[in-house]
Amino acid sequence: MDETKKPTLLQPRELIGDLGLGVVGDGVTIGALIARRRQRVDAQRIVLRRGQRLFGEDAQHAGVQRYQLQAAPRISGLSLGGCFFHAHIFGARIFDIHALILAQSSRQRGDTVTPMQLTPLTGTFGADVRGVDLSAADDTCLDALRAALDEHHVLAVRDQNLEIDTFEAMARRLGAFGETPFITAIDGHPDVLRVLREAHESGPLFGSGWHSDWSFQQRPPSATLLYAVEVPESGGDTAFANGQAAYDALSPAMQDMLGGLNAVHSARRSYGPSGTFGRNDPDAGMDIHGGEEALATQLHPLVRTHAATGRKSLFVNEVYTIGLEGMSRNESAPLLRFLFEHVTQVAFTCRVRWEPGTLTIWDNRVVQHFAIDDYTGHRREMLRITLAGEQPR
């Protein structure tokens, strides 16, 4: 790098009102990134630097290959043209740049809010989120959260302190609520479920099978929010499998074939009269009441296109997908078995280990999930809200 252009490193507290992208911390500059190529850069080492244009000469020099500006600019005096972006430098994704912009926003308000920090859970998807209080989040923060969900598909937002009312209020700001069939909601909160297993229970565990929430509905929920009130010290994790990564890994020939198929979804295996939860168990912590209406079927494209990102994913799951349109059971069963196993292979999964106060948000259009039944003798209590979704296409 030309010495005359070498950026002066600034301390974060000097950055109020500054524009542009720079890098501080342990002496790392954009120029130095060139030498350290595939290194992942974290939020603490990327800050806004006075007088440097965002994707100007320095950024090109550093080999920025791709970036997305997401969410509307809301921060006065910030000329980035957006308040959230992801950049790749030599293929290494830089996370959390938005967090610094949020940090500037909170400085402008005079608060001392810690920037939101995202830490990937795996090499493919899922992220831990820290440094954000969702009960007091502003619109910029929620925009950043939505964008992060599109990017990571599963967000485990740590250290929240939500009551039913505050949980409901923050969820409502993310979108309209979906419809909840078969399970009695919390009194006075028709859209909030208590996902509860008492220590003495030994019956089937709610959610313990790979599924995408309510995929048998005409418009299945876009996202689910699950908030941990009480969790066992160990066990009771939730596993997720990524239908986009699974789709991308298929051969073009297989993708073409699947792209023309519709899958048949139904709640019957879980909530039909002879399904897992077909008969109400008065001793269970959750009031689940199946019935004849669970026998209904709903067709959805087997490969769906995400309404926000345009990416394709396999939209099948072993709990609710019962067949393929126009095929006999003998024809569809082996193909579905292959797909169920393909999507849920370890390389396409991540796992959230809960702590009290963790709020996990997942995108049902991309991932399916599985509540792991390994904590018999311990109590686990969660609050759950689904957000309304569109008809899959």
Ligand X SMILES: O=C(O)CCC(=O)C(=O)O
Residue closer to ligand X by CB (options 227, 247) is 227
Residue 213 contacts ligand X per CB under 6 A: yes
Residue 359 contacts ligand X per CB under 6 A: no
- By annotation, the residues acting in catalysis are 211, 213, 369, 384
Binds ligand X by CB under 6 A, chosen from 89, 226, 316, 385: 226
Minimum CB distance to ligand X, residue 325 (Å): 25
Tell me the site size for ligand X, rule CB under 6 A: 11
Binds ligand X by CB under 6 A, chosen from 145, 157, 336, 371: 371
Q: Which stretch binds ligand X (CB under 6 A): 17-25, 205-213, 317-325, 342-350?
A: 205-213
Residue 231 contacts ligand X per CB under 6 A: no
Residue closer to ligand X by CB (options 84, 375) is 375
Instruction: Please choose, from the candidates 106, 211, 118, 227, the residue with its C-alpha nearest in 3D space to the C-alpha of residue 164.
Output: 227
Subset of 316-345 contacting ligand X (CB under 6 A): none
Residue closer to ligand X by CB (options 66, 200) is 200
Binds ligand X by CB under 6 A, chosen from 245, 384, 389, 392: 384
Residue closer to ligand X by CB (options 222, 238) is 238
Taking every pair of Cα atoms in the chain, the longest distance, rounded to a whole number of angstroms, is: 76
Report the distance separating Cα 381 and Cα 232, nearest Å: 9
Contacts of 234 (CB under 8 A, 6+ apart): 375
Residue closer to ligand X by CB (options 49, 197) is 197
Report the distance separating Cα 29 and Cα 16, nearest Å: 19
Residue 207 contacts ligand X per CB under 6 A: yes
Q: Are 82 and 70 in contact (CB under 8 A)?
A: yes
Buried b (16+ CB within 10 A) or exposed e, 233-270: eebbbbbbbbbbbbbebbeeeeeeebeebbbbbbbbbb
Binds ligand X by CB under 6 A, chosen from 104, 222, 238, 298: 238
Subset of 140-199 contacting ligand X (CB under 6 A): 195
Residue 369 contacts ligand X per CB under 6 A: yes
How many other β-carbons are positioned within 10 Å of the β-carbon of residue 141? 22
3-state secondary structure 20-40: CCEECCCCCCHHHHHHCCCCC
Cα–Cα–Cα angle for 335, 338, 341, rounded to 5 degrees: 150
Q: List contacts with ligand X (CB under 6 A).
A: 195, 206-207, 213, 224, 226, 238, 369, 371, 382, 384
